[in-house]
Structure 1
């Protein structure tokens, strides 16, 4: 059986140790001969790599492991790139969140002006990694889960149309895990779903068990009452800010009770509620820096210092197991059904064929084949047209270095009240993103 070589782009990410643990857990399904880390922040990556070297030595010592900041070394002789980069790290995420809040606008890492700012930083970073991969390993595939996935996916569609990149998001997976628990099913894989939308902007229209029984009525009953909230949520989405997000799905659901919503729609439907509940001086970025980031790095340092994982509290990122499913689908032509961000091309017949939509696809050796989801209602279509225009304008602004188009993109976001506020936010964002964005004219 072939063993695969993988590069993790964003080796210094707080999610990397959980992903490595998950890959090692799945070696029987997806054998690995080599893992490489690539990051442009050598010191940060080194802390994670020192711990992962110990983890790999303990669990699968036959795997060759190295961490590097050299593109040629990182991207030569590989089958897959698993990319989760954050250009500007959490320090810039904090600015993405706090600058809009100054003007009473939602401050969020992937939605509204914050997501647009992050997108303007991410485009160049993702294209650079894609180009390295194609230069040094032209047959490799890039599995990209760098945010904001919608803007990044549009950029790769437009600027690298023939690239072997798959854009994916774990949020629907997280929600489907909750749905399975609500239904008392062992796994989300016991459900067959129909879903359409854009990334962080979509709806489930049909959910069935393997015998074809309709599970929507039971789920709707729960969501109408509690959102996606359960008595007890574990892991990555267990903290209070996630709990309130899952509860808020109840209000989002009420707007269209024929479907079940992605949780991120709350930022577009109830932006004022989000602003009211956010501390402008201590946002989600601060919570993550003081919480997960400190925890992961202290655990990594502990493992590296002791030379053992014994007593370590690092956990397998179960959430990320879909990445193995995706890699296997391509490597072994498994024809698995998965939710991916792909060019529409008729999957939603009454929607822009060039839009990057999130729909179920059958995945095999040639990549994804989108499944037709049918025509969509006016309400969703109107929302999606507005949002896809935002995403396309951002990519055009990046490519053309256009101030005007970026102002238009922010003005068009449902989270922003008017063009004047959009301009104020944009000017503040330009100021702090000078080293990351193209110069706008």
Structure 2
């Protein structure tokens, strides 16, 4: 089995320890020669980088581990790029959430005006990353977790239409699958999903067990009668518990399919707005919770010189999916994952240029998506409206168009009102002047 060289972009992320642990756990499937962490924030990355060296020394000493802020070092001679960058960091995420909330709109990092702002920031750095990787490692696979994945995927498809080694993925469908499996006391690895939608905007139409039985009706029944919570509920902040609990409401109103949890913001914007605290948002929660815990634990590990007793290096869906997707591609395993690809007829009654999220088998030539066919009017209408928002957002970036930015936000189901759209757009322009192109 070939030993792969990996660069993890966003090496200072709180999610990095989970990805690193997944790498050491899955060495039998995905052999490693070198792992390099890359981040523009040296201070954040230093703690995680030193933790990484200790973890690999204990669990995979044959693997070379390094960290750097030099992209010329990071991207040279790599087989896979694992990308999870956050342009602007938590300071700008806080603005994404609090500016809309201050104006009476949903404040969320990937949905609505917050997702719009984050998307415009992400595009520039993602395009730069792809160009740098292609210059230094032309054949590398780029596996992208960077949010908002729907906007990023659409922009990359528009700018690099012939690059077949960029794959945008999201771990939320996997998180949901793990939670469904726990709900029915079943091995998640023996469940096969069918799914369609956009990123953070989709539905499971069926979930088959190893005998070919659709267990989705059973999952719906249990969720409707007993509620729904994430598989790792004890490790989740309260906002995530509230998010999963909304599945019960969505199933009561729209029982056809099992929904992605992010749909709550689009289906119930007024209700969700009433539940959000404009002074203490998800960013504050993360800073006080996961952020504080991860960096304190990594610092403790570095000080003690061992990761053997650490609670921060547990496996999670975020890390496992990234590594397993890479393994399926590298070893031509053709396993099924839910990924983001250009539609091109997968959903027959949607435009070809939609970046659709569907189940696909993954091998050495990338994803082979499974056809969905026609979808019903309600779901088609929702997706077409959301795609129009995403497409206009990308065009606003590429053309520097204020009008298209305003059109995008007016179309978004969390905004709708054009006067509110203009108000929040102007506020976001002021906050993002160092990151966005000028919109005229």
- TM-score, structure 2 normalization: 0.97
- Is 1:304 the counterpart of 2:339? The answer is no
- 1:233-272 pair list within 5 angstroms: 233-234=232-233, 236=235, 238-272=236-270
What is the alpha-carbon distance in structure 1 between the residues aligned to residue 375 and residue 385 of structure 2? 15
**2:262 aligned counterpart, secondary structure:** helix
Report deviation, 1:226. 3.9
Contact conserved, 2:42 with 2:69, CA < 8 A, in 1?
Answer: yes
Q: Which residue in 2 is equivalent to 1:76?
A: 76
Cα distance between partner residues in 1 of 2:246 and 2:308? 39
1:196-216 deviation per Cα after TM superposition (whole angstroms, max 9, x unaligned): 000000011111111111212
**More off after superposition, 194-203 vs 329-338:** 329-338
Equivalent pair of 2:81/2:141 in contact (CA under 8 Å): yes
User: Where in structure 2 are the equivalents of 1:7-22 lying within 5 Å?
Assistant: 7-22=7-22
* CA distance in 1: counterparts of 2:327 and 2:241, whole angstroms: 32
**Other-structure match for 1:427:** 426
- Give secondary structure in 2 for the equivalent of 1:341: strand
Q: Structure 1 residue 61: deviation in Å?
A: 1.4
Q: 1:380 is matched with which residue?
A: 379
Q: Tell me, what secondary structure is at the counterpart of 2:328?
A: helix
Residue by residue, what CA displacement relative to the aligned partner does 1:71-117 show, whole Å, maximum 9, x if unpaired?
11101111000000100111111110011111211100100000000
Structure 2 residue 414 is matched with structure 1 residue 408: no
1:107 match? 107
Q: CA deviation at 1:374?
A: 1.2
**Residue of structure 1 in register with 2:316 after alignment:** 318
Q: How does 1:10-159 map to 2 (within 5 A)?
A: 10-159=10-159
Deviations 1:3-47 (A, max 9, x none): 111000001111111110111111111110100011111111112
Residues 344-363 of structure 1 aligned to structure 2 (within 5 Å): 344-363=343-362
Structure 1 residue 227 displacement after superposition: 4.3
Structure 1 counterpart of 2:208: 208
* Equivalent residue for 1:294, pick from 275, 289, 292: 292
The structure-2 alpha-carbon separation of the partners of 1:246 and 1:302, relative to structure 1 and needing over 3 Å to count, comes to same
Is the CA contact 1:175–1:228 (under 8 Å) kept in the aligned structure 2? no
Q: Distance in 2 between matches of 1:305 and 1:35?
A: 22
Instruction: Provide the secondary structure at the position in 1 that maps to 2:36.
Output: strand
Deviation for aligned residue 1:312: 2.4
Q: Which runs of 5+ in 1 are unaligned?
A: none
* 8 A Cα contact 1:202 1:358, kept in partner: yes
In the TM superposition, what is the alpha-carbon distance from 1:264 to its structure 2 partner? 0.6
Query: 1:277 aligned to 2:272?
Result: no
Paired with 2:51 and 2:57, the residues of 1 have a C-alpha distance of 10
Q: 1:267-302: per-residue Cα shift (whole Å, max 9, x none)?
A: 001111111111110000000011111111111111
TM-score by length of 1: 0.97
135-144 vs 310-319, which moves further: 310-319
Contact 1:226 1:247 in 2 (8 A): no
Question: Contact conserved, 1:198 with 1:358, CA < 8 A, in 2?
Answer: yes
Secondary structure of residue in 2 paired with 1:263: coil
Aligned counterparts of 1:300 and 1:182: Cα–Cα separation in 2: 32
Q: 1:19·1:316 contact (CA, 8 Å) conserved in 2?
A: no
Where does structure 1 differ by over 2 angstroms across 4 or more consecutive aligned residues? 223-230, 232-236, 310-313, 315-318
SS at match of 1:172: helix
Structure 2: how far apart are the matches of 1:311 and 1:173? 27
Task: Please give the per-residue CA displacement for 1:314-333, whole angstroms capped at 9, x wherever unaligned.
Answer: 13232121212211121111
Distance in 2, matches of 1:344 and 1:227, equals 33
C-alpha deviation, 1:311, in angstroms:
3.4
> What runs of 5+ residues in structure 2 fail to find an aligned partner?
none
Distance 1:24 1:415 in 2: 41
Cα distance, 1:341 vs structure 2:
0.4
